[in-house]
Amino acid sequence: MSTDSHPADAANRPLTPEEQELRYYKEHYRGDMKQLTVRAVLMGCGLGAIMSLTNLYIGLKTGWGFGVAITACVLSWAIWKFFRKVGITKSDMTILENNAMQSAASSAGYSTGGTLVSAIAAFVLVNGTHIGYGMLTLWIFFLALLGVTMAIPMKRQMINVERLRFPSGIAAAATLRSLHNDIHHKPALQKPVADIVSLEDEEMDTEAAEGEGVIEDESQAQKSANALFFAGGLGALITLLRDGPGMLMQLGIIKKSFVIIESVYPVFGKKALGYTVGAEGSLLLVAAGGLMGFRVAASIMLGAILNWVILVPWMYNIGVIESLEYRTMVSWSLWGGAACMVTSGLLAFAMQWKAVVRALSGLGSIVGIKSKGSGLPELDEFIKNIEVPGWWMIAGGVAGSLGVIWVAQAAFGMPVWMSGLAIFLSFFLALVACRTTGETDTSPIGAMGKVMQLAYGAIAPGQQNVNLMAANITAGVADSSSALLIDLKSGYVLGAQPRKQFLAQFYGIFIGTAVTVPTFYLLVPDASALGTDQWPAPAAVVWAAVSELLANGLDSIHPTARLALWIGGLVGIALVLLQKILPRKARVWVPSPLGLGLAFTFHFWYALSMFMGGLIQLILSKKKPNIDSIYTIPTASGLIAGESLMGIFVILIPLLVGLFAR
């Protein structure tokens, strides 16, 4: 008798992917639990609106963006707990309602603002003017729509079948499970996160879930929530004390401004301050440094010393840099930094060729070429009733594509075939971005944008707007796709229905677009606001620099800047190769090329703040790991949110008063 014919042996054999998927639907899927409710969507959109402003603010400051899912989970939990205590509501949100909430918040807070602080701000720099408000609103919306719909066919293959890790999604799910511990979980579902994530590799995914600052119980959740609110208040207070007097003078309430907290302190002397070498009166970027970690923060500090302490003073003294005006200095320094970031990003992307091959090899399954049913009627019925229908992708993809093509032609003068080609290529690059995010938790959005800029530099030479917007299509689509899959991974771990989670993400696009676009216009009224002390906009500066270089050639920049470009490019390549060939323990000493290059595009005092934050986080992680896990993320997130929101408030109030007074 063959072993396969014995029932016991058949039961012990490894499950096929289809059987694993069926087991998941039977044991872990929770379709009967409340998920996509009005209160979940409203809470998610409200928190997402707030966080979209914080990411817009910090994006214009640093070119950086931060995930919002875990912060939204803690905030929603704390707010709803307060509502119950005061009698506003009678019931807690279920764990799946909070999961839908964080999907809407993530969509609103992250997937719409990245385009504004990079490609759109670069467009303003290149052209000296904005595009129309209506056109920009449609552009942001259609790009986000196209991105989330392109993720639909990738979800089942990458999450259900291949079970890619998507560590940030696991972390958000683990946080929600901890917040709702002994409240909403059924005994049958009290399983480790890894049991749901992977039926084969529990250890790997448990480590991933525990390595993201995950909250372990309700008491820790309360401490984290308290820290977040306290830090938010502190950040807002510091900003009000620093910028409030200037606002009062603009409003005519006082005749002469006064200083409580300086914007910048000349701690290294007034002469050094002329080269931006000082310390700022802000905790915003200290918090950002704590979130990005010590290696990146230290790399930024190293780059800042090299650029602002050594190179810029040298270039000024020999007459290459003509004045100490910030724009003049950064117009020289950005070339070396941009080259370091671009070459390192492209090489790191190229070295992930195996992920590219795997992504493309699974293309048949993703687009449904091989879809002839699973051979398990019960599984096919589950898929039909639970997964996002394919026609949603077709409808959203067609609407998004037509919208992008129309706006690209009407607003940017981009021929239909060029925008159509960019959308076609975006699917393949989004496929790679989603797989890379699933495997490494890092999405190569910047590198993909540069790939498209290089490609369209050849397709449409000398056309900077076409170059920028073609790259924007790819980066925007890939960003939204990977963000949706991170959320869907969280839902998969928790047993949520994918189509309801997709709808939550879709709703978030509306609020994110509605909030970020008008705020961007108010914060950046014209090109003169960018590349300044207030809004260095490093991401936009790099995008604009690459398009300028491709349009005008190397001869258009100063010979010393040209040399810096070559050196920066080689340094970026060398650092990536060192990360690849050195032993694991030695890699921690290799600077991050992204951090090193980024320091050439904004002030020294920004770098100093980030370094301080990274150093504090490093010390806490080594000396007080429990304090680090409970307090670092919420405290840093609170400081960023509080200072960003108050900073926007202080800027907008005089503008709005002036508008209504006309």
Q: Does residue 191 surpass a pLDDT of 80?
A: no
Contact (Cβ atoms closer than 8 angstroms) between residue 517 and residue 133: yes
Kindly report which listed range (135-144, 160-169, 295-304, 612-621) carries the lowest average pLDDT score: 160-169
CA distances in angstroms from 336 to 229, 330, 398, 579, 581, listed in the order given: 40, 10, 41, 20, 24
Average pLDDT over residues 144-154: 86
* Number of helical H runs and strand E runs in the chain: 33, 2
For 226, how many CA atoms within 13 A lie in the half-sphere containing its CB? Answer: 7
Where does the pLDDT of residue 364 fall: very low under 50, low under 70, confident under 90, or very high at 90 and above? Answer: low
Kindly report which listed range (21-35, 170-184, 210-224, 271-285) carries the lowest average pLDDT score: 210-224
Q: Return the pLDDT at 361.
A: 56
Q: Which two tokens stand for residue 402?
A: 């037509």
Q: Return the pLDDT at 309.
A: 95
Q: Does residue 573 surpass a pLDDT of 90?
A: yes
Q: Does residue 316 surpass a pLDDT of 90?
A: yes
Q: Does residue 532 surpass a pLDDT of 50?
A: yes
Average pLDDT over residues 223-230: 84
Q: Return the pLDDT at 209.
A: 35
Average pLDDT over residues 225-243: 89
**Which residue do the tokens 């279920």 mark?**
94
Kindly report which listed range (19-28, 50-59, 407-416) carries the lowest average pLDDT score: 19-28
pLDDT single digits (tens) 32-79: 888 899 999 999 999 989 888 888 888 888 777 766 777 788 888 888
CA dihedral 539, 543, 549, 552 (to 10 degrees): -130
Q: Does residue 441 surpass a pLDDT of 70?
A: no
Q: Which two tokens stand for residue 405?
A: 């093509």
Q: Does residue 82 surpass a pLDDT of 50?
A: yes
Residue 480 φ/ψ region, left for φ over 0, alpha for ψ in the -120 to 50 degree band, beta for the rest = alpha
pLDDT single digits (tens) 326-356: 888 988 988 888 888 888 877 877 776 665 5
pTM: 0.80
Q: What mean pLDDT, rounded, does the chain reach?
A: 82
> Which of 180-184, 249-253, 449-453, 460-464 shows the highest mean pLDDT?
460-464
Closest CA to 403 of 387, 418, 420: 420
Q: Does residue 514 surpass a pLDDT of 60?
A: yes
**Which residue do the tokens 């196209």 mark?**
146
Q: Return the pLDDT at 193.
A: 37
Q: Does residue 401 surpass a pLDDT of 50?
A: yes
Q: Which two tokens stand for residue 485?
A: 């899959």
Longest dimension (CA), the chain: 97
Q: Which two tokens stand for residue 654?
A: 């005089």
Where does the pLDDT of residue 436 fall: very low under 50, low under 70, confident under 90, or very high at 90 and above? Answer: confident
